[in-house]
Amino acid sequence: MLDLVLNPEAIHVALRRQVPQLRVQFGCKCGCGTAYFDLDPDAVEPAPTGPGTVVAADVPLFTATGECPGEVLVFAQGGYLSWLEVCSWSDDVEVNLAAARRWLQPSS
């Protein structure tokens, strides 16, 4: 999922370098796909995001019919990947990690 939402911007390149060191610490129990990360800050360099918590990436989700039922947010704290959140804005369309991954795939 991180490969799909982190683009070639400089900040995202620095965050992408952290991905191999990430471990999912725990996920949301509701099934939405939100995941909280564990990362050893001594193993990687921080991205230039600043000292606080920031939304490092926000990508809207579009279904095949063009509806936008939610988004994927990636958060960083102090320059380190912290969590990925799958947000739903729809009562009619189930938004979860599998659906988000499918909607983010480039069409062939």
The domain ranges of the chain are 2-104
**Do residues 56 and 47 touch, judged by C-beta distance below 8 A?**
yes
Query: Where are the extended beta strands (E) located within 2-52?
Result: 23-27, 35-38
Confidence tier at 29 by pLDDT (50, 70, 90): confident
**pLDDT tens per residue, range 49-86:** 888 999 999 999 999 888 999 999 999 999 999 999 99
**Residue type for 33, please?**
G
pTM of the model: 0.86
Query: What single DSSP character describes residue 107?
Result: P
